[in-house]
Amino acid sequence: MPQTTTEHRTTYRRLFSLPGTRAFTTGNLIARLPAGMFSVSAVVMIAGSRGSYALAGAVTATGLAASAVAGPWIARLIDRYGQARTAVPATAVAVLGSLALLLCVRYGTPDWTLFAAYTATATTPNTGGMSRARWAHLLDGDTGALHTANSFEQAADELCFMLGPALAAFLCGTFFPEAGTLTGAVLLMTGVLIFTAQRSTEPPPSPAAKGGPPLRVPGIPPLLAGFVATGAVFGSLEVVTLAYADATGHRTAGGAVLALQAAGSCAAGLLYGTLKPSGPAERRLPWCLLAMTTLMSLPLLAARTFGSLPALAVALLLAGMATAPTMVTAMTLIQHRTPEGRLNEGMSLAVTGLLMGIACGSALGGWTADHTSPTAGFAIPIAAATTALLIAVPSRAVP
């Protein structure tokens, strides 16, 4: 299997010179973009039709909870039977769920049908995890190149979650309320078909995976707890920023300001991938979390000192620069500690932890913004990042 050399610093150009990498990356990016589109599209579509943001939020929250349950199960099937054999039918079920939701909204079916339809979208495979698994398969033994690949994947995550909501809002507002969901479903199915068609780079299935479930492996539970805390950073920061923009009379600018945080993380992720890793990931993670904790104080400082949205935008751009290095390092640890043949399951558990944290952070951030002030709410991301740091420091000695 072709690999990049370890004695030279890996560049993105060298990384994508490997046969098949550009093709599977293209399909993966197309399939990953809808991840940032579906929830926004569903909220716009349901709230516009039923006149209830509470109903829209409940439906999307139900889908999030279902994804947290179904995600590791789908990933385990992918490890056991292969990406193409599992991801295509799983995606087809998810797409049918999206289309069913669209039709239920369009034709005014009872509210419970919205929950049932959106729950079916939980079978969407973790395309980012499948892509990272391909890199791990191709670059086995080349830690420098794998670091660069993981950095690219994290930057791609940030880019998709930055562009996805904006594209969804544009489609729903410019054409018709269901346009975002319809486009997302088409992109997801198309991207997965392109991605899984690249069989030469697909990791071989592991019908008899070595080791037990990842949750029972020493070092994995603390990592997952750290992912929950990190997710709380993201969830609380999003809600509090939107509340702050609303309170300062710039409701429509909230999304653009949040996009700057993702842009900062995307840029930092690409830069981080060009640097040679210094020391093992176990030692790097606490330093990354310390940087994230420190930079997360900037939004609170900007809100209290300047009280303006432009100042907050700059602070969020800077705060985002610690996000990608932290996520890259944490995902690298997941790859190192997950038993052979269970990599997709391990990374899916990490995503589940993030989703749980985002949900908890969103709830706590919203409660704080409502009962105290949006400015005070910016303390929640700091507390969540500090929690992640305190979890990581004792567990760094775990091999």
pLDDT in tens, 2-12: 443 444 456 88
Distance CA 78, CA 92 (A): 15
pLDDT digits (tens, 9 = 90+) for 45-83: 888 888 887 788 788 878 888 888 898 899 889 989 999
Average pLDDT over residues 246-262: 79
Distance CA 48, CA 87 (A): 32
Mean pLDDT, all residues of the chain? 87
What is the CB neighbour count within 10 angstroms for residue 159?
20
**Listed ranges 163-177, 231-245, 376-390; the one with the highest mean pLDDT:** 376-390
Least confident of 25-29, 269-273, 297-301: 269-273
- pLDDT at residue 6, rounded to an integer: 41
Query: Is residue 282 predicted with pLDDT exceeding 90?
Result: no
The CATH T-level fold of domain 212-399 is Growth Hormone; Chain: A; (1.20.1250)
Average pLDDT over residues 243-258: 79
Comparing 397 with 328, the larger pLDDT belongs to 328
Rounded to 5 degrees, φ, ψ at 355 are: -60, -40
- pLDDT at residue 364, rounded to an integer: 86
pTM of the model: 0.80
**Listed ranges 108-112, 205-209, 263-267, 369-373; the one with the highest mean pLDDT:** 108-112
Query: Is residue 210 predicted with pLDDT exceeding 70?
Result: no
Evaluated on CA atoms 284, 288, 290, 291, the torsion sign reads positive
Among residues 100, 46, 93, the alpha carbon closest in space to that of 70 is found at 93
DSSP state, 218?
Answer: T
Q: Residue 226 in contact with residue 349, Cβ under 8 Å?
A: no
Q: If you search the block for the tokens 């940032």, which residue do you land on?
A: 36
Task: Give CA separation, 189 vs 32, 123, 125, in Å.
Answer: 10, 12, 11
- pLDDT at residue 383, rounded to an integer: 96
Task: Give CA separation, 373 vs 135, 240, 253, 313, in Å.
Answer: 44, 9, 19, 18
Average pLDDT over residues 292-301: 96
Query: Is residue 265 predicted with pLDDT exceeding 80?
Result: yes
Triad 132, 136, 137: Cα angle to 5°: 115
- pLDDT at residue 48, rounded to an integer: 84
Q: How is the chain split into domains, by residue range?
A: 19-140+163-208, 212-399
Least confident of 1-5, 85-89, 376-380: 1-5
- pLDDT at residue 1, rounded to an integer: 39
